[in-house]
Amino acid sequence: MSRTVKLAVIPGDGIGPEVVSEAVKVLEAVTAGTDVSFERTTFSLGAQRYLETGDVLTEEDLEAIASHDAILLGAVGGAPGDPRLAGANIERGLLLKLRFSLDHYVNLRPTRIYPGVPSPLADAGDVDFVVVREGTEGPYVGNGGSIRTGTPHEVANEVSVNTAYGVERVVRYAFAAARSRHGRLTLVHKTNVLTFAGSLWKRIVDEVAIEFPDVTVDYLHVDAATIFFVTNPGRFDVLVTDNLFGDILTDLAGAISGGIGLAASGNINPDGTSPSMFEPVHGSAPDIAGTQKADPTAAILSVALLLDHLGLADAAASVTRAVTEDIATRTGTPRRTAEIGDAIVAALSL
């Protein structure tokens, strides 16, 4: 019985198209000869499209994307300080718009130190954890405003919105993830200062914990969590946290594990009511765009997350194995983006 997966591909800006090419190459290679095939539609979205048409993401774009089974995204965002982009916020208008519209309430960001990868930490130890970042609430809701804007009397507010509904579903996902891993869950928040949001997160975690007696629960303030990220990252298994704390912690996680060039992520709607989206954590790096200098590994590892999400666990494991293999043999001699992709494809059949 063959299966066709409709995949929306958003290469985006800067190095996005280059790394996505390699990711697609690996996706095709790992599923070649299996009963799964991908029907790809490419969407030209991002800074470039905005400059050409004035549109960031139209309702039609959104509808078309939503009709797919999954999304693979490279990176979006033009050159920082480009005056032609001053009026647009590609991040909010495209990336966050997709996450919110498609109800990607789980932002899944695994961190591993792969054998052979140098960490900036002197003694990182064995690092293998997953951050489950909430994706549709918190300070990301866009619920802010300002008065007397541009004057010496300006007041600018940002509202972090947190609901029991929204917190519970992501907390539940995190508990299940912990159960399937090493049974340890760390809630990260700032309950001593953000007392209302903090109490809600704490209460929900306490409540859901009752259903997961096999999972050990731990709590850290976000400031203290950053300390453990550099002094003892091996202590973590699964972390669950809000949208903003998760954003900060996962960049730090990328850094300690040998660079954001290896960090993959999934924006997941676990209910399957809309397509989930997989993307490297890194940005569009316009300064090296088109030079074949970008490392496509994070995009390729995002393909592994995509395959896992589609229930293709074997194919996902093959990709991770090939990447691990390739990383272990890296010599430090720079390779072109496509060479890395080719090497990983070659490693698939080892």
CB of 198 to ligand IPM, least distance (A): 11
Q: How many residues bind a copy of itself (CB under 8 A)?
A: 63
Pick out residues in 238-277 that bind ligand IPM (CB under 6 A).
247
- Cα 338 to Cα 19: distance, rounded to the nearest angstrom: 8
Outline where DSSP puts E strands in 206-336: 216-221, 238-241, 264-268, 276-280
Using the rule CB under 6 A, which residue among 192, 273, 329, 331 binds ligand IPM? 192
Which residue in 13, 247, 308, 326 is the catalytic one?
247
108 binds a copy of itself (CB under 8 A): no
Kindly provide the b/e burial profile for residues 59-71, where b requires at least 16 CB atoms within 10 angstroms of the residue's own CB: eebeeebeebbbb
Asked whether 282 and 263 are in contact (CB, 8 A), the reply is yes
Gyration radius of the chain's alpha carbons: 20
313 binds a copy of itself (CB under 8 A): no
Asked whether 51 and 85 are in contact (CB, 8 A), the reply is yes
318 binds a copy of itself (CB under 8 A): no
- Cα 205 to Cα 166: distance, rounded to the nearest angstrom: 12
- Cα 186 to Cα 22: distance, rounded to the nearest angstrom: 35
Span from 91-99, 202-210, 320-328, 340-348 in contact with ligand IPM (CB under 6 A) = 91-99
Span from 47-55, 112-120, 289-297, 315-323 in contact with a copy of itself (CB under 8 A) = 112-120
96 binds ligand IPM (CB under 6 A): yes
251 binds a copy of itself (CB under 8 A): yes
223 belongs to the catalytic site: yes
105 belongs to the catalytic site: no
Q: Nearer Cβ to ligand IPM, position 211 or 223?
A: 223
At residue 236, φ and ψ (nearest 5 deg) are: -95, 145
Taking Cα atoms as reference points, which of 215, 306, 277, 237 lies closest to residue 75?
Answer: 277
- The DSSP-derived string for 172-220 is HHHHHHHHHTTSEEEEEE-TTTSHHHHHHHHHHHHHHHTT-TTSEEEEE
Joined tokens for residue 40: 């790809």
Joined tokens for residue 238: 């699964």
224 binds a copy of itself (CB under 8 A): yes
- Cα 153 to Cα 6: distance, rounded to the nearest angstrom: 52
Which residue in 55, 128, 251, 342 is the catalytic one?
251
Using the rule CB under 8 A, which residue among 110, 135, 254, 275 binds a copy of itself? 254
193 binds ligand IPM (CB under 6 A): yes
95 binds ligand IPM (CB under 6 A): yes
115 binds a copy of itself (CB under 8 A): no
Q: Nearer Cβ to ligand IPM, position 249 or 303?
A: 249
Q: How many residues bind ligand IPM (CB under 6 A)?
A: 8
Which residue in 140, 173, 308, 326 is the catalytic one?
140
Joined tokens for residue 162: 């947190």
158 binds ligand IPM (CB under 6 A): no
Asked whether 255 and 218 are in contact (CB, 8 A), the reply is no
Using the rule CB under 8 A, which residue among 155, 313, 328, 346 binds a copy of itself? 155
97 belongs to the catalytic site: no
Q: Which residues are catalytic?
A: 140, 190, 223, 247, 251
Chain residues in the site for ligand IPM (CB under 6 A): 91, 95-96, 192-193, 223, 247, 281
